[in-house]
Amino acid sequence: MSQAINKSLSPSPEEIIISPEKSLTNLRRELWAYKDLFYILAWRDFKVRYKQTAIGAAWAIIRPLLTMIVFTVVFGRLAKLPSDGVPYPVLVFTAMLPWYFFASSFQASSNALISNADMIRKIYFPRIIMPISKLFVNLVDFLISFAILIMLMVWYRVTPSINILFLPLLLLMAGMAAAGAGLWFAALNVTYRDVCYLVPFIVQLGLYISPVGFSSSVIPDQWRIIYSINPMVGVIDGFRWAVFGQDVNISVLSFILSTVFIILLFASGIWFFQKTERNFADVI
Amino acid sequence: MSIAIKAENLGKKYAISHEKKQRHHCNTLQESLTSMGKHLWRRCQHPLSQTSDAFDIEEFWALKDVSFNIKQGERVGIIGRNGAGKSTLLKILSRITSPTTGKVTIKGRVSSLLEVGTGFHPELTGRENIFLNGAILGMNKEEIKRKFDEIVSFAEVEKFLDTPVKRYSSGMYVRLAFGVAAHLEPEILIVDEVLAVGDLTFQNKCLSRMTEIGQSGRTVLFVSHNLNAVKQLCDRAILIENGSLRLEGTSDTVVESYVSSVAIHLAPSKEYEKNKDKVTAEIRAVSVTNEGATVDRVDLKDEIFVHMEYELYRDLTGISVGLQIIDIPSGQTILSSPDPELDVSRLGLRKQGLYRAIVRIPGNLLNTSTYTVKVGISDRYRIYDCIEDVVFEVVDRAGIVNIFGRKRKNSILSTQLIWDLYRLS
């Protein structure tokens, strides 16, 4: 056995320097070294997600479908909001795809550190893996919902536009928004458990100020700028534009605003997380 | 040999805030809210004041100015009392927390076992957890696949591989956890007291696995209270005291000087000043006596009395005063005896006041060694006070064998048993 052990001793081992200041430059190299952990954490979350549930993965279908029905009835039938010539259920469902992906990822990554406090206290790994890996479970749910969207579109005879090719890019934006916000709140959550109460509130509020149940065209022009600071406005409008083409009203200015804000959120999230990371084990 | 770990002037500062003794108890939510409001108001008026009204912020150096070199392939033990800074050092070396001052240069991949089974998910099966835990400890997928069968047979869980670990017995759980950990192959291995798991056979298995790892040219850092294990496993040892490196040398010399320093520095009796932080109950004095006088050294055959004085600051129910006798060289608790051991009615109300308890330890029970006395006061929910300062030595003045520095009886206890002898044919 000791023979086997000897073989794996590498002749020129890498050098690690531990000092009070951690440099940002080796983040990429570290993430590469820990890529297996990244996969396996995402896989773990996926694996345990629907354990001990009676209907299992069906929840990924039921939840968005029911929400879509409620929104269609409330906003489309009762409030009679305009739908830009698109069947209301499809309009709502298209927006719910990025919204739920964002909201669930954001919520899961905000809690990622404190729900794995034991690992943070006992083992070293690049902490950023923990919140980011949460995005991937929700990506699976997104793909399931996407299949439902296709079925809905077939049912309502909606032909997708060529813009649909931009969808991956828009999904990336939603992911960056979730990761940026998630990193901020995950790091804050280590010291301030208030975050546990704040995040569900933000998500709930966000659902009403984002164009999920309605189209952005109902927003008066003078409110447009403030409305667009919400990064999900750009993403959701983008999704509708990608699926329905030019029929849907999209404001270029508000899209650019949202994009800039998402990039800022993402970059500052990484910066803040890296800055606070080295004290996580002491505080958590 | 090249240097595997080079630590220079390592220091770690913690800011600990503890509540001042409360002048009035906040019993209702409203009271605590108003006191919080007052606190916040003062804070707003004097935003720059360092210490606030209700909290004392105290700086505490868990580790200060520690420097050492560890060569590649060395097995080094780290010893010291509880709270000396050993764990902080390990946490810095394994990059879990960062130092406040200083620098460490490490050559090679580090794996640290501060606790086995970290990251195990109860819902996942044994098989799945091997992969999960392996990845968490820094193995890649190929490595785990290669080691899989070895891990399974080491942990003896073949039959339960596809059972969720939440249905495992605690023994199986620990064996599986250690099995994964024991098959890590880093250049540098950092181990914290994980040998104290499982039954005796399994412990020996772990110990021999550790020796094997050590012999394969890997650098091993080993923290333990079991000084005998340190002597057995390590070539060198480092003694840490109050956050500073006190001594460095061969494991035999460091362990010996540690044991004797414990015996010298710590008296056979100790009295404690009233501590303003302790508001409920407090240990005031502990001493070891024999024939009415305080002693730091007793003969094997002598009986020993442990005196404990403690004060209850209010009437309490359900409290328990615990006494433990701990063998310093092995870190083993030899005796453990809580106050209401035989008489449950004593868990009832105990009035406020100063108490003295005396426990008699018969002669010919403790073998020759150095022991600490640990005394604690607790109830079901919290520990009010716990101290571990008093040390005494048991020597064998009569035994001829003692001249050669050996124990008369090669056992934990020195109890003399009666042999009845019958000639049957």
> Would you tell me which residues 33-62 of chain A have a C-beta closer than 8 angstroms to some C-beta of chain B?
34, 36-37, 39-41, 44, 47-48, 51-52
pLDDT over 60 (residue B406)? no
Task: Confirm if B235 and B255 have CB atoms less than 8 A apart.
Answer: no
Residue owning tokens 């240990």 = B283
pLDDT at residue B41 tops 60? no
Range of lowest pLDDT (A215-224, B59-68, B210-219, B397-406): B397-406
**Distance between A36 CA and the closest CA of chain B, angstroms:** 6
Q: Give mean pLDDT, residues A52-56.
A: 73
Poorest-pLDDT segment among A187-201, B28-42, B155-169: B28-42
Q: Which residue of B has its CA nearest to A284?
A: B97
At B43 the pLDDT is 54
Q: How much is the mean pLDDT over chain B? A: 80
pLDDT at A7 over 60: no
Q: What percent of chain A has pLDDT over 90?
A: 27
Please tell me the predicted confidence (pLDDT) of residue A8: 44
Distance CA A34, CA A124 (A): 11
Residue B50: pLDDT band (50, 70, 90) is: very low
| Chain B positions in Cβ-Cβ contact with residue A40 (cut-off 8 Å) | 131-132, 135-136
What per-residue confidence (pLDDT) applies to B36?
A: 59
pLDDT for the residue numbered A23:
53
- Tell me, what's the pLDDT at B40? 60
pLDDT digits (tens, 9 = 90+) for A112-123: 998 888 888 888
Instruction: Report angle CA A9, A15, A16 to the nearest 5 degrees.
Output: 120
- The reported pLDDT for the residue numbered B154 is 85
Chain B residue with the nearest C-alpha to that of A6: B216
Contacts A20 to B, Cβ<8 Å: 98-102
| pLDDT > 70 fraction of chain B, expressed in percent and rounded | 82
pLDDT, mean of residues B387-400: 77
| Residue ranges of domains in chain A | 26-283
Domain ranges of chain B: 62-262, 269-397
Helical ranges in A52-193 per DSSP H:
59-71, 88-111, 117-122, 129-155, 167-191
Q: Specify the range with the lowest mean pLDDT, choosing from A27-31, A95-99, B150-154.
A: A27-31
Out of A10, A18, A37, the one facing B99 most closely (by C-beta) is A18
Confidence of residue B198 (pLDDT cuts 50, 70, 90): low
pLDDT, one tens digit per residue, over A138-158 is 898 899 889 989 998 899 888
CB contact under 8 A, B137 and A124: no
B255 pLDDT higher than 80: yes
pLDDT of residue A46: 84
pLDDT value, residue B26 = 41
Within 8 A of A16 by CB-CB distance, chain B residues are: 95, 105-107, 110
In which element (H, E) is residue A18 found?
A: strand A15-18
With beta carbons under 8 A apart, name residues in chain A contacting B216: 2, 5-6, 9
Could you tell me which chain B residue has the CA closest to the CA of A17? B105
Tell me the Cα Rg of chain B: 25
Place of tokens 């019958």: B422
Fold topology of B269-397: Coagulation Factor XIII; Chain A, domain 1 (2.70.50)
Nearest CA in chain B to A19: B103
Backbone φ and ψ of A158, nearest 5°: -100, 125
Chain B residues with CB inside 8 Å of A15's CB?
105-107
pLDDT of residue B294: 84
Mean pLDDT of B177-183: 84
Contact call for B217 and A9, based on CB within 8 A? yes
Residue A110: pLDDT over 90? yes
Nearest residue of A to residue B185 by CA position?
A5
Judge: A36–B107 Cβ closer than 8 Å, yes or no: no
Confidence band (pLDDT; 50, 70, 90) for B1?
Answer: low
Reported as a single tens digit per residue, the pLDDT across B70-120 is 988 888 999 887 778 888 898 888 888 888 888 888 888 888 777 777 788
Please report the sign of the dihedral spanned by the C-alpha atoms of residue B70, residue B76, residue B78, residue B79: negative
Residue B93: list chain A partners with CB under 8 A.
18
For range B11-16, the mean pLDDT: 82
Q: Is A251 helix (H, G, I), strand (E, B) or coil?
A: coil
Look at residue B214 in the predicted model and tell me its pLDDT.
Answer: 74
Which among A21-25, B16-20, B368-372 has the top mean pLDDT? B368-372
The model's confidence at residue B45, banded by pLDDT at 50, 70 and 90, is low
- B217–A278 C-beta distance less than 8 A: no
CB contact under 8 A, B187 and A17: no
What percent of chain A has pLDDT above 70?
91
Mutate which of B216, B218, B223 to disrupt the A interface (most A C-beta within 10 Å)? B216
The answer to whether the Cβ–Cβ distance between B98 and A121 falls below 8 Å is no
**Measured in whole angstroms, how far is the alpha carbon of residue A232 from the centre of its chain?**
10
A14 reaches B (C-beta below 8 A): yes
pLDDT band at B359 (very low <50, low <70, confident <90, very high): very high
A residues 265-284 lying closer than 8 A (beta carbon) to B = 278-279, 281-282
Query: B62-262 in CATH: which number?
Result: 3.40.50.300
Contact across the interface for A281 and B107, Cβ inside 8 Å:
no
What's the mean pLDDT when you consider all of chain A?
84
User: Which of A89-103, B163-177, B342-356 shows the highest mean pLDDT?
Assistant: A89-103
A221 inside 8 A of chain B by CB = no
Q: What is the pLDDT of residues A245-282, one digit of tens each?
A: 866 666 788 888 889 999 999 999 999 998 888 788 88
Predicted ipTM of the assembly: 0.78
Q: Which residues contact B91 (CB under 8 A, 6 or more apart)?
A: A281, B97, B114
